[in-house]
Amino acid sequence: MTFYPMTVHRMNALVCRRAQSLLLLAAALLLPLGAQAQPTTSSPDVPSRAAAEAPRTAYLVRSADMLPVVLMSARTSLTGEADGFAAADVVVVGPAVKGLVTGGPHAAALTKSLDAGVRVVACGLAMKKTGVTEGDLLDGIDTAPNGFHELFRLEAEGYVTLQL
């Protein structure tokens, strides 16, 4: 076996070509990973992906007896005791609107829920039929001309709805 000595110049050239080949191979393997990389933080003006995908719920309440349970569910969905919902609206129709008045039996639960960010909406048609005026309602309660149409509007906006 004959050994041919390699010059230093040829050795450096071989090492450089192998290093270049390895760098190209590494770049080719890592390029797809870089294209899939996601930023770890987002701009404060842009809602996070999780917040944008968090569910929004709307509850339709027909009976004043169900009001405390629905208010508690809506409230806990916003306060982090559940899976972190983005919004919770309670639409009250029919005779249940009588439960939304100032000084009524559900005033404390309503106030606690409103303070937690729950939006409570009284049906205007039901208010008219039951004799409840906007002045009778607890402060912070919204009204809609028709509670069912309000629920349909929320559904069209992507809310998940529950009817109780």
**Average pLDDT score over residue span 95-112:** 94
pLDDT of residue 48: 45
Contact in structure between 121 and 144 (CB atoms under 8 Å)? yes
3-class DSSP state for residue 56?
strand
* Model pLDDT for residues 146-156, shown as the tens digit of each residue: 999 999 999 99
> Residue 105: pLDDT band by 50, 70, 90 thresholds?
very high
pLDDT of residue 42: 41
pLDDT of residue 39: 41
Mean pLDDT score across all residues of the chain: 78
The neighbouring-strand residues paired with 88 are 57
pLDDT of residue 18: 62
> Residue 69: pLDDT band by 50, 70, 90 thresholds?
very high
pLDDT top residue among 122 and 83: 122
On the question of pLDDT at 54 being above 90, the answer is: no
Tokens of 93: 């129709």
Which of 105, 98, 103 minimizes the C-alpha distance to 139? 103
Q: Express as a percent the part of the chain with pLDDT over 70.
A: 64
Which of 102, 103, 94 minimizes the C-alpha distance to 65? 94
pLDDT of residue 82: 52
Q: How far is the C-alpha of 57 from the C-alpha of 84, rounded, in Å?
A: 11
Q: How far is the C-alpha of 131 from the C-alpha of 123, rounded, in Å?
A: 12
